[in-house]
Amino acid sequence: MFPSMGAKHIKGDHWIRFDPSFKNYKYTEGLDISSDVAFNGSDFIDSIKNTGAYNATDSYIYNLDNSAINSTLENHQSQTLAFINQTNSNASMNDIYGGKDIIKHQFTILLGTLPYKTDKVHARYRELPDSLRHKVRITVSSDDNLSLSDPVSVTVSLPESVGKKLYLSYVAASTDDETVRESYGAETSFPAYLVNVKAELKLDNTVLFTGSPVSMGTAQELKVELINTSSINHALYAIKAGYYTVIGINTGTLGLDINEKINSVNVSSTDDAMSEMLYQSILGYWMENDAISSSYNSAFDINAVRVPSEGIVSTPLDLEYLFGVPVSGSYTAMAFDIKEDLWLIKALDGDADKKIKYNIVTGMISSVLEGAVFDQLFTEDTDMGVSAIALLAVALQSGIKVYGIDKSNIDAIIPKLQVDSSVINAVKSAVNAGSVVIMPEKTMTYAGWNGDSYIVLDSQGNGAYMISGGTAGGRMLMRMPGAYPMLQKPLLVDLQQSLDKWLISNGSSYK
């Protein structure tokens, strides 16, 4: 033993075994809203069917009365708020939904033993070996193996990326290319074939790799791999040389204070401004996704823990071709593509149905956010962001049939669909794999966007919420003149203000 056990600070000369990850929690029960504020879900579903045309035989519904649905939900919301105010007018999110708080132990000395029995020591290391480290690997390659035969790739420590901006852009390959690009800065489009660019990946302000020169508009592939100690999760994104892309890694903590991050931003160039706009978008998406999804834990009696996840937000380069040559390019939109939104989910009572219902509800919320976050951050109007759920809602209100497709009815429904052939093939593949597909009967136009959307649900409630182009995400049209995208609204937006109502903690910043 040591004389003061750390109570008196002197120069350290011994290691004390210490496990800061071991914590005790105090759990609090939320309000029993479902018992005190009656809401019959089956009757509500029946009333929805009665407000529109529901055909169980052909598996479709359309022409829903949105005002009647909203009236029912608003009435239930009013009753719920009245119950909460009557029960506890100062209720926090923890008081309403239930939650947990760390039981703090503030010892005046360093304890000499761990708070549990050590059953077995697997190995001892002076430092953690590389095989036990979590990492993220980013690779950019060309899909034709002509303009970029050797992929460029980099691997970084996953903890190193937390709270930092991982940003892929395309810089001019030479001063001549930069001169051409800048000369079209005020035009609505520019001749992409005149400009050569190089892929450049940055972690904050540090350049991680630079690719070889390619013509602007060249088809490329972005591969993001999340590497853990036993497996690799990966996602592939079809991009073009000229895209601006932020890769959003979510490890369950953002590793920063939002207000502090926003106030420290230094936008000194178009590239800085573009990356920051995209970074705030993906940051806002993950913040709201985690906060809202976590608020459903007690409602479904489950425990959900965020597993390292990733997605991208980008400004796609729209191209017009003449004999296969990209003669004109323009930036007209921002787009989310969230391919790995991963949770470890366990029903506290072992009921597997609760996990399925939780997956469906939180999946729909994630899809809504893929359009809503753009509305919150960059437009003065609402309903400009496009997502699979938003398009489904519009279809249901607009007289467009929405089908539920599975193996039992796919042969009868496929001939009725007025959508792109690539979507038909994707639907067939999903249904043949055992999934259910929900989709509008025909191609839709909404908020300046034209295309197809569909939702794929597997047997566990896991969903892919797709819009045209194979994107598992959302999009917002924004006219951005010139060879560089331009901002449409002041960049620095206080995300904290729009998220306060969703935070699980008692008014603290989300970190």
Q: What single string gives the DSSP state of each residue in 39-54?
A: --HHHHHHHHHHHSEE
Tokens linked to 232:
């690799």
Segment 471-479 mean pLDDT: 62
Q: What is the per-residue pLDDT for 504? A: 32
Specify whether the CB–CB gap between 61 and 55 falls below 8 A: yes
Q: Which residue has the tokens 């409630």?
A: 461
Residues 6 or more apart in contact with residue 11 via CB below 8 angstroms: none
Distance CA 99, CA 29 (A): 7
Specify whether the CB–CB gap between 314 and 334 falls below 8 A: yes
Which helix (H) or strand (E) covers residue 69, if one does? helix 66-87
Q: What is the per-residue pLDDT for 255? A: 55
Specify whether the CB–CB gap between 421 and 402 falls below 8 A: no
Burial label, 448 (beta-carbon count in 10 A; 0-12, 13-18, 19+): middle
**Tens of pLDDT along 446-461?**
877 888 999 999 999 9
Distance CA 69, CA 391 (A): 17
Distance CA 215, CA 191 (A): 11
Which helix (H) or strand (E) covers residue 425, if one does? helix 421-432
Q: What is the per-residue pLDDT for 490? A: 34
Rounded (5°) CA angle 120-121-125:
170
The CB-side HSE value for 267 (13 A sphere, CA atoms) comes to: 17
Distance CA 175, CA 160 (A): 33
**Tens of pLDDT along 43-71?**
888 887 777 777 888 888 888 777 788 88
507 in the Ramachandran plot: left (φ > 0), alpha (ψ -120 to 50) or beta? Answer: left
Which of 190, 183, 188 is CA-nearest to residue 242?
A: 190
SS3 state at 416: helix
Q: What is the per-residue pLDDT for 385? A: 80
Max avg pLDDT among 148-157, 319-328, 356-365, 495-504: 356-365
Q: What is the per-residue pLDDT for 89? A: 84
pTM assigned to the model: 0.83
Segment 206-230 mean pLDDT: 92
Which helix (H) or strand (E) covers residue 328, if one does? strand 325-340
Most distant CA pair in the chain, distance? 83
